[in-house]
Amino acid sequence: MSDPAIRIALVTLGVEDLARASAFYEAMGLKRSRASQATIHFYDMDGVVLALFPNDMLAEDAGVPGEAHGFRRATLAWNVPDAAEVDSGFARVMAAGAVSLKLPYKTSWGGYVGHFADTEGHLWEIAHNPFFPLHANGAVSVPPPREGAKQ
């Protein structure tokens, strides 16, 4: 197909408290872009940009009602090179104000994963997945389709 494939350039997380959310992500090592403004903060994550933006403004932008309850129906995964870094990363996110959902554990598929929510309730996991190698910058890669595979 000659058209470009859909891709994720930015992930914008709705926040109840922008200062609180920014303090969390900055404690986790992100640097606020100078393009940030009073109501939106941008962070370059080397492959995807994270934006933090108030929930009500985000709903208005998307043209949808802003009421929301319960499960977020999406998770973000931070993959790290080994199980020890899952443990140390989990300790760091807790120290930065995250909410623990599942302490790191060995998964049925051979990984090691901890689950937490950020200060605004967004779901994250810290994962060591021995089957998905990491690039030098921490991005993960998955194998291409099988040759001749029917999608």
68-97 residues near a copy of itself, rule: CB under 8 A? 68-80, 85, 88-89, 92-93
Least Å distance between CB 30 and a copy of itself? 5
Query: How many CB atoms lie under 10 A from the CB of residue 88?
Result: 12
Applying the rule CB under 8 A, the residues between 2 and 41 that interact with a copy of itself are 3-14, 22, 25-26, 28-35
C-alpha–C-alpha distance, residues 123 and 132, integer Å: 21
**Could you tell me the CA-to-CA distances from 90 to 1, 4, 11, 132 in Å, in that order?**
41, 36, 22, 20
Among 18, 42, 104, 119, binds a copy of itself (CB under 8 A): 42
Out of 38, 131, 136, 148, point to the residue binding a copy of itself (CB under 8 A): 131
Amino acid at 83: A
CB of 101 to a copy of itself, least distance (A): 4
Distance of closest approach, residue 108 Cβ to a copy of itself, in angstroms? 10
Dist. CA 149–CA 132, nearest whole Å? 20
